[in-house]
């Protein structure tokens, strides 16, 4: 299985500040069709996960442009600028290039 | 509005079976792959598997393939997860999700399964 290593585990941030979360895969996430299937989710406390970014850098419907995704191959980053209280929660990356699909272990974004 | 509502969770004894349902509305269910993900208490997310539009392709995470069966009824706009030989390690919240293009887009609120004697 592809192992997704997410860092940091915990990320204290100041409101209005910037946050950066890393996700590294144990093998390349470039599919044979040329697409890279790396996605990002936010799970707010007591809620189900919600999709933020799909295929590395595409914001899902309704996601503010404060969220941006980048990366290639095995190394990916989610950046959140101007952090707001509603951004707090657990962030997960997901790879769906290789079966079985696998999630990162999560990053908890919390107030400094 | 896309809506996914899981049901069927609850307390079940070890070794028993349970079938979860996911009722879909607000989108054309027939046009979408669907998937299941679970989350043990206080833990991260685990992908269980997925099913294509006409049930001709079903993929599972290997460790669950012999215990779990995914199916769907397009006439009823409903996704199912049949779970057998349940153990304490299967205690989790189970989420269904729509899968428009090799990622899970919309998720239900989840249903809690507790395996305990």
Residue-level pLDDT at B6: 98
Tens of pLDDT, residue by residue, chain A (112 residues) = 999 999 999 999 999 999 999 999 999 999 999 999 999 999 999 999 999 999 999 999 999 999 999 999 999 999 999 999 999 999 999 999 999 999 999 999 998 8
Residue-level pLDDT at A111: 87
Residue-level pLDDT at A31: 97
Tens digits of residue pLDDT in A37-56: 999 999 999 999 999 999 99
Of A51, A55, A100, the CB nearest to B104: A51
Q: Do the Cβ atoms of A103 and B46 come within 8 Å? A: yes
Q: Indicate if the pLDDT at residue B101 is higher than 90.
A: no
d(CA B70, CA B86): 15
Q: How far, in whole angstroms, is CA B88 from its chain's centroid?
A: 18
Residue A18 in tokens: 């910037």
The alpha-carbon gap from A97 to the nearest alpha carbon of chain B, in Å, equals 8
B75 CB within 8 Å of a chain A CB: no
Rounded to an integer, the average pLDDT of B98-108 is 93
d(CA B101, CA A42): 19
Q: Which residue of A has its CA nearest to B35?
A: A101
Neighbouring residues of A69: CB distance < 8 A, sequence distance ≥ 6: A38, A40, A52, A53, A56, A57, A58, A59, A76, A77, A78, A79
Cis peptide bond upstream of A14, omega within 30: no
Mean residue pLDDT of chain B comes to: 97
Q: Which residue of B has its CA nearest to A44?
A: B109
Q: Which residue of A has its CA nearest to B39?
A: A48
Tens digits of residue pLDDT in B3-52: 999 999 999 999 999 999 999 999 999 999 999 999 999 999 999 999 99
A76 CB within 8 Å of a chain B CB: no
Chosen for mutation from B35, B36, B44 (greatest number of chain A CBs closer than 10 Å) is B44
**A101 interaction partners in chain B (CB closer than 8 Å):** 47, 61
């Amino acid at each position: 299985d592809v192992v997704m290593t997410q860092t940091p585990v915990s990320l204290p941030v100041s409101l209005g500040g910037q946050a950066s979360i890393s996700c590294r895969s144990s093998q390349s996430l470039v599919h044979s069709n040329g697409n890279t299937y790396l996605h990002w989710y936010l799970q707010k406390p007591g809620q189900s996960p919600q999709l933020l970014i799909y295929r590395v850098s595409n914001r899902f419907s309704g996601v503010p442009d404060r969220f941006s995704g980048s990366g290639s191959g095995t190394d990916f980053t989610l950046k959140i600028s101007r952090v707001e209280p509603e951004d707090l929660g657990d962030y997960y990356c997901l790879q769906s290039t290789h079966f079985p699909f696998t999630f990162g272990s999560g990053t908890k974004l919390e107030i400094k | 509005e896309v809506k996914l509502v899981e049901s069927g969770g609850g307390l079940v004894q070890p070794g028993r079976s349970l079938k979860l349902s996911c009722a879909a509305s607000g989108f054309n269910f027939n046009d979408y792959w669907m998937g299941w993900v679970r989350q043990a208490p206080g833990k991260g997310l685990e992908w269980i598997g997925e099913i294509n539009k006409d049930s001709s392709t079903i993929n599972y995470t290997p460790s669950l393939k012999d215990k779990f069966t995914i199916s769907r009824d397009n006439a009823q706009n409903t996704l199912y997860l049949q779970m057998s030989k349940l153990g304490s390690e299967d205690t989790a919240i189970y989420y269904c999700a729509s899968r428009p293009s090799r990622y899970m887009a919309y998720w239900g609120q989840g249903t809690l399964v507790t395996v305990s004697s």
